[in-house]
Structure 1
Amino acid sequence: DALCRRTCLEGLTDCAGACVDLTADPLHCGQCDRACDPGRPCEGGACGCSAEPSQDIGSEVPQRVSGTTLGADDSRSLSCAGSGAADQTFLFTAPRTGTYLFDTFEASHDTALGALRADTCVELACNDDAGSVQSQIAVDLAEGEPILVVVSGAEGDFTLRVGEPGPVQCTPTALEPVVPQTVVGSTVGLEDSVLATCDYTSSLDATYTFTAPETGLYVFSARAAVSELLVEVLDGGTCTGDSLQCQFGFGESVAVAELEAGKTVLVAVASPVTAMREFTLDVFEAPACPGVDLGSTVPQTVTGNNEELPNVLAPCFSAPSGGEATFGFTAPHDGVYMFDATGSSFPALLEVRRDGCAGEVVTCLDGTSQPARAAVPLASGDTAVILLDSYGEAGDYALEITELACPIIDLGATAPQTVTGTTADFSDILAPGCGYFGGPEATYLFTAPAYALYTFDTEGSTFDTLLDVRDGSCAGPSLKCNDNADPTGVLTHSRLSVLLNAGQSVVVSVDSYEASGEYTLSVTQEEAPPCPLFDLGDSVPQTVTGNNEGYADILTPACGAGAGGEATYAFTAPAEGYYDIDTAGSTVETVLSVRDGGCGGDEIACESAGRSSSAIVRLDAGQTVLISVEASGEGGDYTLNVSEF
């Protein structure tokens, strides 16, 4: 039998049955199956670079070039673009040595942008998203140096902009000093002229100046068909003024500023994810807040409709949100008040703030994931502002205000005593000082029969407890709170001690993070320990050492506290000046507290910084302070140093 075999002519090589020139074939360059990137020739067995196909855009700067990748091939390989992406290539020659900027910010689709050396196709720069789906690159070039600029990504029409960096210009548009007014704007082709305090990248912004026609609270509300949007108001009408407020939102953002008549501010609108082709900015004066004063009547129910209400505030950090109804309520006496919006026709956002619309947020409930119902402790005369909002839904709302029973049980003035029960029958209405809302709690009123140290303990409970003691009522401040009596967490019952005056009433709550079950609450009384334990006199400098194991735990430093007791010292300043009080040299993690006068005085300094906590305080000559040293974990040896600063 004869065997037929293909024989290639001299200079050609058989590659899978095809005779090819390995020195010139871009699919088999130098060896079989080694392909050059699309558009690159094979020269002498090595992949070369081709400036074709390309459009020569010369050396003009600045310039704008229109193009399209619709129907184009994937002829160039960019490191920041996926394979198979259509591209168009431009040949640009630098007119002088310098840095050149290329961007596609005016494109409406996702682009990638690259720069290649014109002679070797080596990549000089590549960008997919320059803080948005459009792209921007900066390239340093020598005079006369040519490069290939490649536009790739999704298919579509685009504009390639060529420029040189220069100083950022702040050229805001002046708005008329009237309200309400609506402005339609765009950030396409603009610069990042404001370093927004709530921005996380460099974003193109549109800027405006506005002068308040009268004193009032002004609202600047921007909307756009983008996923992320921000509005910032700056003092003085310049791009470098102090920020009065910066708000970040999703599709909508609202910034609010209190302005005096004639006050000028600069308003910046930007999107961190894209150049906005169009946005709307509404400027108007905020309505009175709260809009309705409900007085002190309990119980009461108020109804209404949130259609046409302005969107000024953002309860629960919502954005966008619908218009909000705002109500003021004043507690007629100490108690726990329930604000309930579950009767609304839409999932309500319910937020309660203390001391006005700009006050502290006490709680916020999102009706889309949980009942819009909040229990808030209020002291007599305390004013709360209730915000009732939505995620854009409009309809009828209902707000019901009732008072909850708290405390539930009166223990009287007997010590020692032990009570048992279950928290399963109760509601979660208080947030303990060392925890948060979660599990239901049992609440007890206890009145101290004498000046003494009282210890409350939940040993014997069937679940991990939190124990909180509040002064006076359920609305009073937390005097002390404990999660686990054992700092290691092996034992999960709670224990705390408080020094109480004769006749002083406290509310004791047996709580948990999320569990409920049977509990045991014990109250014991012992003679009040001396406080301070030691007197340092007025000598400086001086150093004392000790061990805080076995000392009573009677104080609650604001910067932290351990389960053990504290060593207490009186110190009297020999002269007016600053004093350095520290625990350098201790072998335990310390909590250092300084109080004016004595154990019951106001805390003037508190530091918890490991084995070397330090507080610098200014004292008058003859002023006496109480210094306490406590371990943040297990007790042990400590060192206390006092010196003039």
Structure 2
Amino acid sequence: MTFQYTASVTGTYLIDMSASFYGTVLYVRAGGCAGAELACDSNGGNYVSESRVTVALTEGQSIVIVADGLSGSRGAFHLAVDLLPPCPDTDLGSALPLSISGTTAGAVDGLRSNLCGFGRGPERTFQYTAPVTGNYIIDTYGSSYDTTLYVYDGACAGTELACNNDARGVDAQVTVPLTTGQSIAIVVDSSWNGASGPFNLNIRLGPDCPETDLGSTAPVSVSGTTVGGPNALDERCYNSDIGYPPNEGAPERTFRFTAPVSGQYLIDTAGSYTVLYVRDGSCGGPTLACSTGQIVIDLVAGQSIVVVVDAPDAYPIDFNLHITPPAICPDTDLGTTLPVASSDSLSGAGNGAGASCGGSFQPERTFTYTAPVAGTYVIDTFGSVVNTVLSIRDGSCSGSELACSQYALGTGQSEVQLDLAAGQSIVIAVDGNYADAFNLNINLAPSCPETDLGSALPMSISGTVFGAADATSGSCGGTSAPERTYLYTAPVAGTYLIDTYGSSFSPVLYVRDASCAGGELGCNAAYYSASPSEVLVTLDAGQPIVIVVDSNAWSGGQFNLNISLAPTCPESDLGNSGRAAASGATGRGLNAMSGSCGGTYAPERSFIYTAPVADTYVIDTMGSEFAPVVYVRDAACDGAEIACDSSGLGMLVPLAAGQSVVIVVDGQYSSGDFVLHVTGRSSAVTHTWVGGDQAAPSDWGTADNWDPNGVPALADSAVIPAAVANQPQLNATAGISDLTVEAGATLDTQWSSLVALGNVDASGAVVGYGGVRMIGSNATVRGTVWYLTIDGIATAVGPLPASQSIQINGNLIVNGQQVTTQYLSTGGQTGALTMQNPADAVSVTVSAYFSGTNTTGLLTNGVLSVGGSFTSGNPLSFVASGNHRVVFNGASTQYVYFSYPVSSHFQDIELANSSGAINLNTQAVANGMLRVAGSIPQTLAGSPYYWRPFDVGGVDVDGAGLVVDHLQLRIYLGQIVAFDNVKFQNYPSNATPLVVSHPGAASPFTINNLAFLTPTSASYLSVTDTAPADGNVLTLNLVCSQPLDGSARTSTSGGAVVHWLPCAPATAAPTVTPIPSDTATATPTMPPADVIPTPTATAGLTPSATELESPTATPTPTVTPTPSATPTP
């Protein structure tokens, strides 16, 4: 749009244009539309800033102002013209120092810095003239709001010399070099938020550079702060983590230092986040080094440097500066002693040249050592407090580097191995990450094998690879890592199991025949820390072998070496009783088998069991310390697999009378102690809780607390009577078939889970956070269970009145019962809630989350009441139909989220929130009715960030009414029972908030008190008769709407008719519109979201309020000129 403006007085004018949700362009032309362009600006699509220009005009001069959109954007805007005051408006003279106070409140927003800040707020301007030459520090310390400070040379139109925002908190500070008599314009502006308020302005002369002379003593440490320092220097330093930190807006501190001796100096601000740089000779000298915290620099004796401690951004910092002199090298002569076990500390040590693998910026100790004999030497720092870097140089501190180590074997210590000649001298440097104690060990590498274990059987020893030599490796690993070697002689012929069970890391284990150079008989490397390496070898009596326990480059430490005869498979016979049990540990077993559900990477134990009778047998490992993998093979260890379970919940295995099976207890990636139960269903026992054991009167796992004596197994049932004084508690995971907690009784699961294979009757209560996990496929449930998990199929046969959480991984059939819980969720491959009975009533007070299986046909009846959030996370995870209804009845804002809003949807939805809105964070669909009734108004809100639709099959909205906030409501093919007292608000300015599609009816639909509270350039409502040929015209009578007549903003198609009717007289009876008989029984079916038509918004700028009432009115933007302007469209 174009506007003509004539200047009433001579001066500089500010013209700005602001808009929401689109980019703007503002330009000014002299005289007329074809005149020369005087100025142009665009906000570049940045909605938080405006397009603005300044132009100098003489009295009577006319210009044309063009308000345009960026890249075709369009919308509402605000145009303002202001006469700027003189700049600078106050002369401060030449006083030094100077402090004044003022306020930007009521000032004009006319200037912007090109160097920093946004400056979106009013500013004050000041002229200042330097009385002497020097660095001037100007700040706003003590101001009451977030200021931006910038300085122009001479006047406001001069070159911008400096700018700062937030030098200390919200205060600003700049440093500018000025000569005697030089004038500057100082601007106190706002930061990005456009605030204004009282401010302080302070001007002082900065200090000399450098400020402090540290002399020539080293080491030296000094603490300080950059607060109040000058901002006269800057430097950019590369750092691989943060790139080049800018420090142009930050104050700094400067120090002179003179090197007392020649050498390598360490300069650091350890513990402070700084930009640190060194200049030669003076503050203006060349930069010798720059870093973000530490510098190593070579200096000659008497050389003076300036050390600058700066900040990486505009915020001032506190810092500690350290200068460490060159190290004396070597510190200590270790002589020719062998072995060496030395302890020392890096405290007070100097810093040398560092090493190829690290340590350049840290202190070190250096040692001379002379090899007494020729051989392979192992030098390490294991046992040190500090993380070390170990470097070896030939002959002297300046000799060539022979070896370097850091983080050996995954530790913070170091180890090197090198060959030395007799009499050869080396320099050992131990570097550290800080100044603390370290160990230095020197040993001659041992011969191979190191140790003779003899012929004991079985045998277990312990050792460590720390400090060992690296002389060999196996086919499966051990390269470039130290190892220990052992000679062992087989006492008898047989198959031997050699393993490292109980080690602190995963060793590489290999066996060689007869000697260290013999052929490899076996090699194994377990790459899981809890899994031992193991080798099976068949040996003759008297046969010698060399066993090597090796490490790898990333781990090492303590190990166990175990030698035994390998067990046979199966190892144990469980017999043929209807109830059998065994316990043991898998850790020392073989890793020779695995099941279809796991067991590849862990050792196992095997048992043979013979079924006494034809029955279904429950096999479980309840009470084990880890999660075993259990599999069953027919007849023998290599027989066909019958069943496999890795859940730890047990399995049902049908067996014939006399059938033998091998049961294998294995692990996934772990091993440990286990308990194995085998129970025939016909041998199951019902145990009644009696309590009273003196040692543990409430422990579920104590046999004496049950009658008959014994802890129930997964196949057994348990009864908890109320009359027993000591009610049971779980201290570990347990299993049960049927559970009965009688009225008045309590079972406390504490933090352990009770697995139920059968029915659960909690007429009393099951409390505790472990809860009950139902795994049966045909179970029933009733009563109070705080935490209930359903992995199988459970049917409610009574109320579930007070659950805290119900997790459904299988299926919960409500079966006409009342279910109340704080949290309800479905998940897994089969998780579903089944509501098919009209009496089904499920109440979720906090969160309902559906992410399980396809629920088509499962949610057909009953009422799901939700008092908190509702989420459907998977396709088809909530497919309601029939007469199913969801009622939102919370007491605060409730959030609804559909990840897949087409395949998952509501049927009927009722809004009954007592306080707050129902917020649809995504598109949503209700194939049935949207119902609102009662005396409390309801709010249905969309996401504040996205404009989305809510599709409903029909509406029955009455009572106190409904507010639809930033949401498009689309009514399709359903019933319109009532739609009264509905307000639409906060929709986009080019959107249509209400869409109605209907086949029409014999009588009109009357809608009372429909309000559209936000102007739109599209339509208030779009109405379509979807069956124009049936003779029933879709007619809507809108009575007493807001606006009273919105016909100009009404879109119709298919012959639909909309009447905007006046309000009825106060004495008139309310209109009652019957449900048309031809639509009352319609079963709505929602079309897919991608085929639902959306009305096209009318192009153009957002109209004014006048235009909404009168379609012929010309849109006129608000123009606020100072002085007056005459806009001409």
Using CA pairs under 8 Å that are at least 6 residues apart, name the structure with larger relative contact order, 1 or 2. 1
Give the number of the structure whose alpha-carbon radius of gyration is greater.
2
Q: TM-score range by the shorter chain?
A: 0.3 to 0.5
| TM-score, length-scaled by structure 2 | 0.28
Q: Please report the TM-score for the alignment, with normalisation by the length of structure 1.
A: 0.46
